[in-house]
Amino acid sequence: MKLGIIGCGLIGQKRAQAGKKLGLELVSACDLNIPAAQDLANRFGGQAVNDYRDVLSSDADILVVAVTHDKLAQIALEAVKAGKHLLLEKPGAVTSWALEPVLEEAIERNLSVKVGYNHRFHPSLQKARELVDQGALGQLMYVRGRYGHGGRLGYEKEWRMRREIGGGGELLDQGSHLIDLSLWFLGGFATVQAQLPNYYWKADVEDNAFLLLTTSLGQCAMLHATWTEWKNMFSFEIVGQLGKIAIDGLGGSYGPEQIAYHKMLPEMGPPETVIWQYPFPDQSWEKEFEELTKAIDQKRQPQGGLGEAIEVLRLIDIVYAQNRK
Ligand SMILES: NC(=O)c1ccc[n+]([C@@H]2O[C@H](COP(=O)([O-])OP(=O)(O)OC[C@H]3O[C@@H](n4cnc5c(N)ncnc54)[C@H](O)[C@@H]3O)[C@@H](O)[C@H]2O)c1
């Protein structure tokens, strides 16, 4: 299959690398910043362009859309109307209602659209899913997720901190990954409470998001996403009546990735613990792409597709409405 990439920034480059590993041929690389498109085309092949409509009319079968948040949904909608399968970067849109027409068009045209919630494809999270599905934790009670970094010099001037481009702040950025993972393990949420402070960065969006989500059964997700963590961190815990899973790190600057399974014993006291470690480079980008290509072959929507992304955005819509000043 042939690939086109719209948005040749940090993530466009990661997607190009993953596409190459899967044997996809890059035919078109697009960025408003033409040197960025040219650089990607030089390294991975294809033609460099600066108007995304040239990619829509190319012979690419799959498009990666990895632009700023304000343009994701509009380009995605035009891309499915042009008959392309998509790997659309998270959060897919800045509101749920902007993403709904993309899902309708994709279903109508039998196109597969994966939304870039790649964390599901990290080995520790895949292992957690397997353990939960085997019943190793019993009835789930709650999850607790923390995800953060400390930005960089001049971060407040980047598009992520400009509401008209980013659509919001850290809630949409790293918070959306935590919500996606919580939905994956606990299903839908009935209520959401949140605090969205701005503690440090001089911007008109939140630099921290504290959330408490509750299912109709009373299970909770306690989540914290932050741009003021200073030392990058990722932690996701899943706690059931028979035991607990603790995931730490995502590799790279987020520290070595590992998952610990603590099994409670009938006599209680200290649990039995098994630890799996993954000291190799992040392969989630390839695994996620592989899920999309399989979904295309099997003519289905991929796991972590538009339906799930719309659920994440519905919760985010509610939080932003609650916190609007
Ligand atoms: N899955 C993940 O873990 C993850 C991590 C980081 C970012 N992201 C997401 O990836 C997307 C891109 O983020 P990034 O970090 O690569 O940003 P970036 O700023 O590095 O790259 C975005 C690129 O899009 C280009 N662009 C903007 N509008 C365009 C348009 N209309 N046509 C063509 N090019 C256009 C910009 O010039 C820029 O080069 C965002 O949705 C972000 O949330 C996902």
The CATH number of whichever domain residue 22 belongs to comes to 3.40.50.720
Q: How far apart are CA 303 and CA 288, in angstroms?
A: 9
Q: What tokens were used for 197?
A: 């402070």
133 and 85 in a single domain? The answer is no
Residue 286 lies in a domain: no
128 and 107 in a single domain? The answer is no
Residue 325 lies in a domain: no
104 and 143 in a single domain? The answer is no
- Show Cβ contacts of residue 53 under 8 Å, excluding neighbours closer than 6 positions: 78
Residue 323 lies in a domain: no
What's the start-to-end Cα distance of the chain, in Å?
A: 47
Q: 133-180, pLDDT tens digit by residue? A: 999 999 999 999 999 999 899 999 999 999 999 999 999 999 999 999
pLDDT at 119 > cutoff 90 = yes
Quick check: CB of 36 below 6 Å from ligand 1? yes
Percent of the chain with pLDDT over 70: 100
Residue located nearest, by CA, to atom 33 of ligand 1: 31
Relative to the CA of 37, which ligand 1 atom is closest? Answer: 39
Q: What is the tally of structural domains in the chain? A: 2
Quick check: CB of 95 below 6 Å from ligand 1? no
Quick check: CB of 38 below 6 Å from ligand 1? no
Residue located nearest, by CA, to atom 34 of ligand 1: 31
What pLDDT, on a 0 to 100 scale, did the predictor assign at position 325? 58
Residue located nearest, by CA, to atom 27 of ligand 1: 67
According to DSSP, residue 254 is labeled: G
By DSSP bridging, strand 220-226 and strand 208-214 are antiparallel
What pLDDT, on a 0 to 100 scale, did the predictor assign at position 324? 79
215 and 254 in a single domain? The answer is yes
129 and 222 in a single domain? The answer is yes
Query: Which of the pair, 280 or 96, is modelled with greater confidence?
Result: 96
Residue 321 lies in a domain: no
> 3-state SS of 285-318?
HHHHHHHHHHHHHCCCCCCCEHHHHHHHHHHHHH
Q: What domain range includes position 150? A: 123-281
Domain end: 281, 304, 319, which one? 281
Residue located nearest, by CA, to atom 39 of ligand 1: 9
What pLDDT, on a 0 to 100 scale, did the predictor assign at position 51? 97
Quick check: CB of 120 below 6 Å from ligand 1? no
